[in-house]
Amino acid sequence: MFNRLARFIATSFLTGYFPFAPGTVGSAVGLLLFLLIPGLREIYLLIFIILGFFTGVWSAGLVEKTDGHDASIITIDEMVGMWLSLLFLPSDLSVFWYIGAFLLFRIFDIFKPFPAYQSQNLSSGWGVMMDDIIAGIYTNFSLRIILLVFVR
């Protein structure tokens, strides 16, 4: 039973089985949940990130035992990283900012600038989750700088 639950969580509600670009799909699911759940802002988003991170470490660690290190079906890391990208941003942003956040997050997740690439070497589910946490932090800071310099 725990293996099925772990697989369901690790694959972001089975979206990790999407036939191509499952990481992009996982990120999109994170963004869609953010946009569709009106209360998923501020402190509630932080709580979801923390819970998602630790359940992601647990579930990804179990899935890795059968499917290999950072298997492509594991997308909980992208969903949580996407949420972190949006944490505590101004609530009056247009949809274009969210699309920009999505694109920036995918770029940071794919290219894995220091120390994201190195963090993948952490054991079990920690390595799976940490590179996307770092990508989410880079995205969030980048968006804040763009807002500060060009908008506000």
CA dist 101 → 55, 120, 148 (Å): 24, 22, 15
Tokens 């402190």 locate to 43
pTM across the whole model: 0.94
Determine the 3-state secondary structure of 39 from DSSP. coil
C-alpha 96/C-alpha 84 separation (Å) is: 18
pLDDT tens digits for range 108-152: 999 999 998 888 888 889 999 999 999 999 999 999 999 999 886
Domain housing 26: 2-151
pLDDT in tens, 88-98: 999 889 999 99
Q: How many domains does the chain have?
A: 1
